[in-house]
Structure 1
Amino acid sequence: MKISARLAVLAVVSSLAYLGLAVWGLGGFAAFFSHGALVVTALATLAMTVASLFTEVNLSSGEREDRDNRWVIPAFGIIGVVSGYLPAYTDRIDFWTFGGEGVRWLGAVLFIIGGALRLWPVFVLGKRFSGLVAIQPGHQLVTEGIYHRLRNPSYLGVLVLAVGWALVFRSGVGLVLAALTLIPLIARIHSEEALLRGQFGAQYEAYCARSWRLIPGVY
């Protein structure tokens, strides 16, 4: 296990709490696990949590950190707690819901794709992947592989995850919450890019010129 014990415990507790909120919102275990797509989503969540225990993600401020961007951490936390419960609850009371089991399965597929996209770059970056916006010791710019045309694949994964989570509950409210994640997400991206531009200069500018920030062909 490469992740620190404290972060490992946090990852496990957070995942279980997130699933617990969804089970509570939908009305209990029987209601939640009566849908195959939700069973798959729960198993995928646990699998992602186990996979995260073998990453080197950390909370190191490294050699230089943009401390002004720390506000995005509680912002993500608040949106996450609300997203854990509210889409499931609106599903239970049939408020602003749409579609049927097909939508749930589409959501499950997107959730898995988003999870893979979220974790893949974490393994690629290793110790350079910090929960803080920071330049780590020996930091090198990665511009190949999954980063070849997309500068923030892990953040795209977060967005796809959020949309998938909303769809497994057929929740319009969930989609609104997914859209709200763009606010701290884009703020963090701009902060990271400013730090990387200051660290790598022309090399980073050239990389930006041939790659997309978040969504290929759009942004």
Structure 2
Amino acid sequence: MTQTFAHAVWIAGLIAWFAIRWPHQRRSRRIAVVSDGRSLGDRIVLVAAGVGLALIPVIYMATGFPAAADYTFRPWMGWIGTALLVLCLVMFHVSHRQLGKNWSVTLEIRERHQLVTDGLYRYVRHPMYSSFWLWAIAQAFLIPNFAAGFAGLVGVGLLYFYRVGREEELMRRTFGADYDKYAARTGRVIPRVF
């Protein structure tokens, strides 16, 4: 695999990510919000994740800036990055489908919101965040630049560490003991090994 092909894989992954998200985002706008936990901090970390996972890599691929942060690309890096990106997109798609009408991009509880505990959610509470981590790691393999390649890890890290606790608190307030029991038997982003 060449570096050019690895960049093409990353671009195709970004397009696929938007194609997966779009119909769910459109549908979620039509469902009434019962509880809204959005904040300025929430918006800031969403933007940070977008900058790290999309904007900085696109700027790098379009301009080569900052070339001083480049590292040597090896074909095996491209294959690992491709495999991780495919796994990311599968998890991203499946987690959206399994959440169905319960999904929203921000911290919101929708009308007739249900606690989803089957499918991927049987093993981890946040498989969508798992997919984001996979995307960020894939990006570091596919884009051999310390700034652009690792920007995704920084963006996802900010999003994850700011929001996951808030999301879980919102779920606890909404579902009470049912959520506590569910959380006790699942991992956050990596399945628990018993």
Give me the TM-score of the superposition, normalised by structure 2.
Answer: 0.80
Aligned position for 1:211: 186
Equivalent residues in 2 for 1:1-219, closer than 5 Å:
35-55=4-24, 58-59=28-29, 62-68=33-39, 69-79=42-52, 80-86=54-60, 93=67, 95-180=69-154, 181-217=156-192
Q: 1: distance between equivalents of 2:178 and 2:164?
A: 18
| Structure 2: unaligned runs, 5 residues or longer | none
What SS is found at the alignment partner of 1:110?
Answer: helix
Q: Secondary structure, in 3 states, of the residue corresponding to 2:161? A: helix
**Distance in 2, Cα, partners of 1:46 & 1:183:** 23
Give the drift of 1:141.
0.5
- Aligned equivalents of 1:176 and 1:42: distance in 2? 16
Distance 1:119 1:156 in 2: 12
* Aligned partner of residue 215 in structure 1, secondary structure: coil
Structure 1 residues 6-49: Cα deviation after superposition (integer angstroms, max 9, x where no partner): xxxxxxxxxxxxxxxxxxxxxxxxxxx97333333333433443
Q: CA deviation at 1:102?
A: 1.7
- The number of residues matched between the two structures is 186
Whether the 8 Å CA contact 1:110–1:161 is kept in 2: the answer is yes
Q: 2:171–2:179: 8 Å Cα contact kept in structure 1?
A: yes
Displacement of 1:185? 1.8
Q: Percent identity?
A: 24
Displacement of 1:204? 0.5
2-structure distance, mates of 1:135, 1:98? 46
Corresponding letter in the other structure for 1:116: V
CA contact (8 A) 1:91 1:97 kept: no
Q: Helix, strand or coil for the counterpart of 2:24?
A: coil
Which amino acid counterpart does residue 175 of structure 2 have in structure 1? F
**Are the aligned partners of 1:156 and 1:215 in contact in 2 as well (CA < 8 Å)?**
yes
In 2, the alpha carbon distance for the partners of 1:192 and 1:138 equals 17
